[in-house]
Amino acid sequence: MVPAAEAEALILSLVHPLDGAEAVETVPLGAAAGRILAQPVTGSLDMPHWDNSAMDGYAVRYADVVQAGANHPVSLALTEIIPAGKPPTQPVAPGQAARILTGSMMPVGADTVVMQEVTQRQGDQVFILEAPQPGQFVRHRGSFYQAGQPLMSAGTALGGPELAVLAAAQCVQVPVFRRLRVAILSTGDELVNPETPLQPGQIVDSNQYALAALVQAAGAEAILLGIVPDQPEALAVAIRSALSRSDVILSSGGVSVGDFDYVDHILTDLGATLHIRAVAVRPGKPLTVATFPATATQPSPTLYFGLPGNPVSALVSFWRFVEPALRKRSGLRENWSPTFVEAVTQSSLKGGGPREIYLWGRLSPNPENPSRYDFTLAGGSHSSGNLVNLAGANALAVVPVGTEILPQGEVVRVMVVR
């Protein structure tokens, strides 16, 4: 069994990020959310685009108001009101001020903004009751970003803040990596689709739906290949089909040591190299990780994950090992690994043995100390076949190898899963 951290490092070393012109597509700005930037972006506009006010108040010359105070206010003549979106119509001369609003362009001659709370206006005069700092509340052109400099790097995940930056730079066509294609298949004679009436001994295939949802949440395209019976020929045909149309293949079931577990043998027969066959975690010990060689139509090796058939094991394996690989393969520049935090367990956590134990539950801020997390174990059985109490879980507590019990109130390492 390969330890979890070692398995993750090995898997990531096998992953080749998307690269090359064939992996890039251009999408409208409005369709770029959740995508990965494929090429560096350089803006052609300074940000701010011009000197502007960071406050509602009055644009003044600092030299005119440096002596202002409540007992000796400075009187200035108002020249104009500058609304946001309209340029000033005249400069500010000595002894003058312009009414200015947040975001409004600074007039020529003015170098400071006095906020309106320390002023009094009487007709066409404004009295400054407090001396500002020089340059106060002025956002200078190019102080955030200068045109022609790198704005955003390739490999950046595009969320709300990133789209705001691209919009401000008027980048309306965005080069992104194409979505990964992930083929998903379930193996087992006992499996039936959810819409099929259940016969004695049969099991509903839930893995395909769960894995498809997780793949899509990771920003990839899920290609559902359905249920494959425990027949070597059928499995070989399904894997060949997956190879012709995907970057990554996920199968569930058939990777243990049972009489009908054929996946590893078929992979070898088809020319794959097996790198991992078991990992030191529970649930999820049976895990096959293999690569198929690059081809003319697939310039990077195809990564294959043979996940356990038990539903919880399949999901835990995906969160711990598959999702990091998808993140790197998709072209993301960094932050591939799962997020771990420390939390105080609200329940006693049972471990033991030579494997890391993953127990599912809820991670939440402590109501009395928001800087601290609490972990609450999901109720009911923590069996690898029990999906029911996995619903609503957002984290996995990790009990280290050899630790028999983590008592309530102890600090535990927790993996955030959603």
Same domain, 190 and 317: yes
Residue 20: per-residue pLDDT: 84
Q: What is the pLDDT of residue 259?
A: 55
State whether 33 and 94 are in the same domain: no
pTM for this predicted structure = 0.89
In a domain, 108, yes or no: yes
In a domain, 103, yes or no: yes
Q: Residue 62 and residue 43: Cα distance in Å, rounded?
A: 33
Residue identified by tokens 């195809």 is: 302
Same domain for 372 and 242? no
Same structural domain, 127 and 250: no
Q: Are residues 309 and 345 in the same domain?
A: no
pLDDT in tens, 304-357: 999 999 999 999 999 999 999 999 999 999 999 999 999 999 999 999 889 999
Domain count, the chain: 4
Q: Give kind and range of the element (H or E) at residue 251.
A: strand 248-252
> Is 345 part of a structural domain of the chain?
yes
Bond preceding residue 48 cis, omega within 30 of 0:
yes
Question: Does residue 335 sit within a domain?
Answer: no
Sign of CA dihedral 141, 145, 148, 149: positive
Coil/strand/helix, residue 98:
strand
Tell me which residue range forms the domain holding 124: 52-139
Q: Do both 345 and 202 map to the same domain?
A: no
Provide the mean pLDDT of the chain. Answer: 94
pLDDT in tens, 84-120: 999 999 999 999 999 999 999 999 999 999 999 999 9
Q: What's the CATH number where 159 sits?
A: 3.90.105.10
- The answer to whether residues 211 and 309 belong to one domain is yes
Q: Which amino acid is at 335?
A: N
Bond prior to 283 in cis (omega within 30° of 0): yes
